[in-house]
Structures are given as C-alpha cells and as structure tokens.
Amino acid sequence: MQDSFMYGSLVLHATTPVQEFPVFVDSNTITGFHMENRVKGLYSFLIDGDFEEIEIPLPTRNKYLTVTAIGDEPYTQKILNDCAGKLQEIDSMFEGARHLFKMQKLMDDLEHSYAPYVPPYLICVNNTSHHSYFTLLTQGLLIRIYGVYDTVNRSVRLVWTNDDRFVAHCRESEPTRYIFYRYPVFDNRPVFLYTQVLCSKWAEWNRIFNGPDGVLKSFNALERFIYKDPRIESYSYQPPTV
C-alpha cells in the first residue's frame, strides 16, 4: 500500500491571520471557513498521495458533506461508496442519538461488511453547512491530533494527521515558534470536531484559565471534551434500574 498522508488544521483562536504550517504550503491545499469570522473557524485540508472523494448533499438534514478517504488502494473506492451510502441513512436510523454514537455504528457496519479482513482506512467528513463540523473515521491507520500554540501571533489550532513526522516538519523551518500538545493517538474509532462548539469552548476556557499555564489547562480540557466514549448513545438522564 502506497503511503498517503492526510493533514487537517482548524483555527480555534486567533485575532490576526495565521501562518500556514509548512506541510500546507502546497497548491493542493484546500482552505475554507466553518464560521462567519475572519480567522476563527478557518480550516486547511490536504491529502499528500492517492485518495478518493465524493460529495453528498443532504439538504433535508442541512448537511453538505465532502467525504475524503485514504487507505488500502484496491479497497478505498468501495469503502468510500459504502460509507457514503450509510451516511445518507444513519440519521434516520438513530434519531436523537449523539453524532459520535451514529458514527461508531457506521464503523461497526463497515467492519461487519468486510469481516474477517477489514481494510485500513482513514475517512474525513467535512460538513460545510451552517452547523459545520469534521468527522474522522479511522480503522487500522493512526490519527495523531495536536493542539498547537503559535508563540508569534498567539493563535491556537487543532491539527490531525496520520503523518508521525508532522511536528518534525514544522520544526525544520521554525524550531521554537510552535508549542505542541500531543493528544493520545486515535485508532479504530470516530472523532467528532464540531467547529463552532470547539471555538466557543476554547473562548470559555481562556476566560477561566487565565494564568501562565492557561493554554496547557485549556488543551487538557479540550482533550477531555474530544475523547468521549463513542458507544454511549445519549448523555440524557437514565433512571436507575431496580
């Protein structure tokens, strides 16, 4: 399998335009905004290598999805098509459930369909509707997530990639500019990044954690927020069983 790398970056906090990380200085990088803000909610997305992609408009659900997949080349297109089909029906199958739970169910269905051999894949779903978000689905390919603080313009970004040399790439040109908070590695599970909520939460944590270690505390709070159990259907109150 030829190595393909996925890179995604999302601005959680900034007051001035951010400087792209070195890997994103590429003519194939896609940029856009998830929020009506000139800096917050800005995203950059790049695939270095082979990939498959499909557009899925779901206007009745207020979703406009771009689904991008990398993985084991003979299987990637089929997995993408199977995933696309399930994305169009998953909401109606689990009405009222958490999005992360729905995505875990989707991954469970994919695993069942391909068992005993489940080809490795990494899928990014970019919803560019009014309530924009990224969903990452990973099976057999590790997702590394970093919180990155820029010491020059004091911006904060969340980065995801399957390239274990991302930090090294950044430090080759500017060794001391960025501070990296390394989150635990994701594998065989979904990740839900709801842009507006993440930016709002970061602003809230910034107000609460305003000491010299405030950024680290905020990164820690973000870890607890992102790394939720995808198999819990709802956090609503459940009465105890007798």
What is the per-residue pLDDT across 182-240, written as a single tens digit (0 to 9) for each?
999 999 999 999 999 999 999 999 999 999 899 999 999 999 999 999 999 987 655 55
Separation in Å, CA 225 to CA 51, 179, 197: 30, 20, 10
- Buried residues in 14-34 as b, exposed as e (16+ CB within 10 A): beeebeebebbeeeebeeebb
Checking phi first, is residue 155 left (phi over 0); if not, alpha (psi -120 to 50) or beta?
beta
* pLDDT (0 to 100) of residue 13: 97
Alpha helices in the chain (DSSP H): 73-87, 90-93, 99-114, 166-173, 195-208, 214-226
Backbone phi, psi, residue 132, to 5°? -80, 150
CA distance 182 to 107: 25
Of 3-12, 54-63, 118-127, the range with the lowest mean pLDDT is 54-63
236 token code pair:
């609503």
Q: Looking at residue 1, what is its pLDDT? A: 47
Order of all β-strands in the sheet with 42-48: 30-33, 42-48, 5-13, 156-161, 144-150, 178-182
28-77: pLDDT as tens digits? 999 999 998 889 999 999 999 999 999 999 988 889 999 999 999 889 99
Q: Which pLDDT does position 123 carry in this prediction?
A: 98
Cα 220 to Cα 59: distance, rounded to the nearest angstrom = 36
pLDDT for 240 equals 56
Q: Please state the φ and ψ torsions of residue 208, each to the nearest 5 degrees.
A: -80, -45
pLDDT tens, position by position, 71-118: 998 899 999 999 999 999 999 999 999 999 999 999 999 999 999 999
User: What are the tens digits of pLDDT across the range 127-153?
Assistant: 999 889 999 999 999 999 999 999 999
